């Protein structure tokens, strides 16, 4: 029996089915039209292995069960990153131990920034005992080289970086507890994934000035942690 052609104003079901069966879930590499390839506990009664989730902002689709598995296998930091386009959902937080962040302006210019003064940030974190969010809960951690002094040009962009670093500090993303790649020491406070300049007038370590790309690099690193100016503006 001959099938009637799809009319222009009703969507063609065959096309949708074909489309879905051609798409793979890039988490488990199985077809989105079929069940999740992840054989784990289901998602608390709200879905079956066939359920497909569509991320609200970027629109990328995965099995719901695969998204949940990905979250549970990660560091469960309250956020989820689209594995395709890296859009961050939720607010990412880290495991930085308690401490203090202070800053002030000093009346000197950094190499490469002759026209402005300098912001000095002082981080202080004392040693302590690791919490459940750290690699070895209950074990002590050391804290070397504190207070750590860092420098930014007191320019418009430098002040923007400072504002975002304050957000990063509140979200516990500036430091972490782990193994220092510089000293090899484990169970110690280490820089997380946002680079800081810890040298003022020289550049002996490579963590000094001049470095024309520094502020843009830091803005990218902050973005990778889900911190952007847009996101930090008050919403109505
Ligand atoms: N200044 C700024 N950033 C640094 C420094 C430094 N002196 N040394 C390393 N980093 C960066 C690295 O490039 C890397 O991206 O920190 C990240 C983590 O490196 P680790 O060596 O694991 O971090 P940590 O042990 O915390 O830092 C080593 O940094 O500020 C100093 O006093 C601190 O001597 C210590 C050194
Ligand atoms: Zn999947």
Tokens of 142: 């050391």
* pLDDT value at residue 236: 46
CATH architecture classification, 13-90: 2-Layer Sandwich (3.30)
Phi, psi at residue 96, to the nearest 5°? -55, 130
pTM of the model: 0.81
Q: What is the pLDDT of residue 66?
A: 92
Q: How far is CA 193 from the centre of its chain?
A: 9
For residues 208 and 206, give the distance between their C-alpha atoms in angstroms, rounded to a whole number.
Answer: 6
Residues with CB under 6 A from ligand 1: 144-145, 148, 180-183, 190-191, 195-196, 198, 205, 207
Rg (Cα) of the chain, in Å, rounded? 24
Average confidence (pLDDT) per 10 residues, the chain, 236 residues: 56 55 88 85 67 90 91 85 91 95 98 97 98 96 98 98 98 98 97 97 95 97 91 54
Could you tell me which of 62, 68, 59, 65 has the C-alpha nearest to residue 29?
62
Q: Which fold has domain 100-232?
A: Enolase-like; domain 1 (3.30.390)
Ligand 1, atom 24: nearest CA belongs to which residue? 190
Closest of 189, 171, 155 to residue 228, by C-alpha: 171
Domain ranges for the chain? 13-90, 100-232
Q: Is the complex ipTM higher than 0.85?
A: yes
Query: What percentage of the chain reaches a pLDDT higher than 90?
Result: 67
- Closest residue to atom 10 of ligand 1, CA basis: 191
* pLDDT given for residue 75 in this prediction: 78
173-204 b/e with 16+ CB inside 10 Å = b?
Answer: bbbbbbebeeeeeebbbbbbebebbbbbeeee
The pLDDT, as a whole number, for residue 47 is: 65
């Amino acid at each position: 029996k001959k099938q009637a052609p799809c009319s222009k104003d009703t969507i063609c079901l065959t096309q949708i089915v074909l489309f879905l069966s051609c798409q793979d879930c890039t988490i488990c590499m199985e077809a989105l039209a079929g069940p999740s390839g992840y054989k784990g506990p289901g998602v608390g009664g709200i879905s079956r292995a066939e359920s497909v989730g569509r991320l609200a902002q970027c629109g990328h689709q995965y099995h719901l069960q695969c998204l949940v598995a990905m979250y549970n296998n990660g560091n469960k930091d309250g956020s989820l990153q689209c594995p395709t386009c890296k859009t961050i959902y939720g607010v990412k937080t880290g495991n930085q131990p308690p401490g203090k962040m202070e800053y002030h302006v000093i009346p000197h210019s950094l190499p490469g920034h002759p026209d402005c003064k300098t912001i000095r940030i002082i981080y202080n974190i004392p040693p302590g005992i690791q919490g459940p969010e750290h690699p070895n809960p209950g074990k002590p951690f050391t804290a070397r080289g504190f207070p750590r002094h860092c420098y930014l040009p007191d320019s418009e962009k430098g002040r923007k970086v400072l504002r975002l670093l304050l957000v990063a500090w509140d979200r516990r993303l500036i430091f972490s507890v782990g193994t220092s790649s510089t000293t090899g020491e484990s169970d110690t406070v280490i820089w997380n994934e946002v680079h800081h300049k810890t040298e003022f007038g020289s550049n002996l370590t490579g963590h000094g000035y001049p470095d024309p790309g520094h502020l843009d690099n830091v803005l990218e690193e902050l973005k990778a942690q889900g911190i952007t100016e847009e996101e930090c503006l008050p919403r109505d």
